[in-house]
Amino acid sequence: MKPQAVVDRAMTVGLDMIAICDHNSAENLTAFIEAGRKKGLAVLPGMEVASREEIHLLALFNRPEDCLALQGWVYQHLPGKNEEDIFGPQILINEKSETIGHSDKMLIGATLLPFEQIVSFVGTLQGVAIASHIDRQAFSLLGQLGFIPEGVQLDGLEISSRTSPEEARSRFRSYQDFAFVRFSDAHSLEEIGKASTQFLLEERTSAEIKMALHSQEGRRIVES
């Protein structure tokens, strides 16, 4: 999953905007953003944060510094250190895919932060908060809690590539007030683009995506 390879693959499958959402970390963002800039692909800063309830939340931002502010807060609430012999190295790279360091944080695990507090913090940074793969039992809001807490300020609900939008609307009738999106959640090059969402936007930014998720000022999700 080298920056240039990810960008090339995304453009090959017809994407014009992607988000890099590493687990509990944003340290490799700059490499991917720069690789995308050189090819004309918008790369949004993002993170997939794991709450203490083991719920995954996607957070998208306009500015890398806002995403890094979330990372700094998350890092303060990550227990333990990474054990490379068990979980493997966590490599930090530049846009040329050269190793520039390693992270010793326990990125694979859950933070000590409650889900609703993470959603609130993302909101204070003007980010987009989307509950990850709600159709899965593991690491999802509905899988862990069984419901969406009243008043939580989510911008959308993600369904995985295994569930169609039609199936989601039928299965999750109680949550029709939320926007549903599908992303690839790619962990390999071949998975990039296996699921995507089309937006009608004026610019390729997370602020525009937030407006589309709430159907504001003409921005919207385009049903394919």
Per the CB < 8 A criterion, the answer to whether 201 and 209 are in contact is: yes
* Residue 175: closest CA among 197, 163, 158: 158
- Concatenated DSSP letters of 27-73: TTHHHHHHHHHHHT-EEEEEEEEEPTT--EEEEE-SSHHHHHHHHHH
| Beta strands at 180-182 and 156-159: parallel, antiparallel or unpaired | parallel
* Secondary structure E strands in 118-211: 128-131, 156-159, 180-182, 198-200
- Concatenated DSSP letters of 1-27: --HHHHHHHHHHTT-SEEEEEEET--T
Which tens digits make up the pLDDT trace of 76-106?
A: 999 989 999 999 999 999 999 999 999 999 9
The pLDDT of residue 1 is 85
User: Facing residues of 20 across strands?
Assistant: 45
Listed in sequence order, the residues at least 6 apart from 172 whose beta carbon sits closer than 8 Å to its beta carbon are 134, 135, 142, 157, 180
pLDDT in tens, the chain (224 residues): 899 999 999 999 999 999 999 999 999 999 999 999 999 999 999 999 999 999 999 999 999 999 999 999 999 999 989 999 999 999 999 999 999 999 999 999 999 999 999 999 999 999 999 999 999 999 999 999 999 999 999 999 999 988 888 898 899 999 999 999 999 999 999 999 999 999 999 999 999 999 999 999 999 999 76
The pLDDT of residue 165 is 83
* Residue 197: closest CA among 222, 175, 168, 164: 222
Per the CB < 8 A criterion, the answer to whether 140 and 147 are in contact is: no
Which amino acid would we find at residue 87?
A: F
Residue 194, CB half-sphere, CA atoms under 13 Å: how many?
Answer: 14
Domain boundaries, the chain: 3-222
Which amino acid would we find at residue 150?
A: E
The pLDDT of residue 223 is 78
221 φ, ψ (degrees, to nearest 5): -85, 135
Q: Hey, CA dihedral for 70, 73, 77, 78, is it positive or negative?
A: positive
The whole-angstrom separation of Cα 42 and Cα 50 is: 25
CATH class of 3-222: alpha beta
The pLDDT of residue 200 is 97
